[in-house]
């Protein structure tokens, strides 16, 4: 009897990004057997998706993130636009490489940190009629000194982490795919830290390759007093909103992940 069962071939789907521990919910069940691609080489985004039971194929985008920030009237549109360029580039490239195995879904994301008028726990007073000015994007620090400067500016204040998420999936009408996007915003409040703590963090180097100059999931968490919004968004991917977005698309888009 054992020999009979061991000789049987089990046909597994060619692509199966859904992990065993994933919740049995419609949005994830719909992805079973689908070719799902993450257009990013970010280990943090991959780990977040893996945590919730999704293991997409990793195909980093070659799109150069050079969109002019000043060209956007609303700064929150900037990461959405960048994510869209990333997703489309990967989708078109994979279709061209192998039309018979085109992606069923390409996921791309871009996270930026924006300056924000200090409020709440901030120690910096503002007058009611004072114009805080436009939000500025906080890039990755150039070096240790630049990282310390950024941390001193943020100290006791608040910044806004914004992630744009874009999905690209095939449809019958031209150009052969559809683009859908969302954005997620989270406020991050910095404690009134001692300069020596900020100096030690800048010296450590953890924030050197992070927008805003800090990593909330690491040692940088010592600098933060609270957040308002999705923690995973600050790390790099708003998982809760992403899965809710899949549910919405399943209801509203007849071609979404159609067999």
Q: Which of 74, 110, 153, 259 is catalytic?
A: 110
Name the band, by pLDDT with cuts 50, 70 and 90, for residue 71. Answer: confident
Query: Measured between alpha carbons, how far is 26 from 16 in angstroms, rounded to an integer?
Result: 15
> Can you give the pLDDT at residue 11?
54
pLDDT at 3: 52
User: In this predicted structure, what is the pLDDT of residue 178?
Assistant: 96
Average pLDDT of the chain is 88
**180 pLDDT band (50/70/90 cuts)?**
very high
Say which residue, 101 or 118, is predicted with more confidence. Answer: 101
Rounded average pLDDT over 148-167? 95
Residues 6+ apart with CB under 8 A from 63: 82, 85, 86, 89
Report how far residue 3's alpha carbon sits from residue 25's, in angstroms, rounded to the nearest whole number.
Answer: 36
Instruction: Note if 100 is an active site residue.
Output: no
- Preceding peptide of 31 cis, ω within 30°: no
- The pLDDT assigned to 69 comes to 81
Enter the CATH code of domain 26-119+136-252: 3.90.950.10
Domain ranges of the chain: 26-119+136-252
DSSP 2-63: HHHHHTSPP---S---B-TTS---HHHHTTTT--EEE----HHHHHHHHHTTB--EE-----
In this predicted structure, what is the pLDDT of residue 4? Answer: 45
Full-model pTM: 0.86
What's the token pair of residue 130? 């004072």
């Amino acid at each position: 009897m054992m020999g009979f069962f061991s000789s049987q071939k089990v046909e597994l789907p060619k692509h199966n990004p859904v992990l065993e521990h994933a919740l049995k919910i419609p949005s994830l069940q719909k992805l079973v057997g689908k070719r799902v691609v993450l257009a990013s080489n970010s280990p943090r985004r991959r780990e977040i998706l893996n945590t919730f039971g999704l293991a997409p194929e990793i195909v980093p985008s070659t799109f150069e993130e050079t969109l002019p920030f000043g060209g956007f009237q609303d700064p929150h549109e900037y990461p959405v636009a960048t994510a869209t360029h990333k997703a489309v580039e990967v989708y078109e490239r994979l279709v061209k490489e192998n039309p018979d195995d085109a992606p069923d879904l390409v996921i791309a994301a871009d996270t930026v940190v924006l300056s924000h008028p200090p409020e709440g726990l901030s120690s910096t007073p503002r007058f009611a009629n004072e114009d805080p000015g436009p939000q500025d994007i906080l890039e990755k620090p150039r070096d240790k000194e630049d990282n310390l400067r950024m941390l001193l500016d943020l100290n006791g204040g608040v910044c806004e982490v914004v992630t744009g998420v874009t999905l690209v999936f095939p449809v019958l009408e031209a150009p052969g795919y559809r683009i859908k996007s969302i954005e997620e915003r989270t406020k991050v409040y910095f404690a009134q830290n001692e300069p020596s703590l900020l100096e030690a963090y800048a010296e450590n180097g953890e924030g050197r390759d992070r927008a805003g100059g800090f990593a909330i999931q690491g040692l940088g968490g010592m600098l933060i007093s609270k957040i308002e919004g999705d923690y995973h968004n600050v790390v790099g991917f708003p998982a809760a909103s992403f899965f809710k977005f899949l549910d919405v698309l399943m209801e509203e888009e007849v071609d979404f992940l159609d067999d």
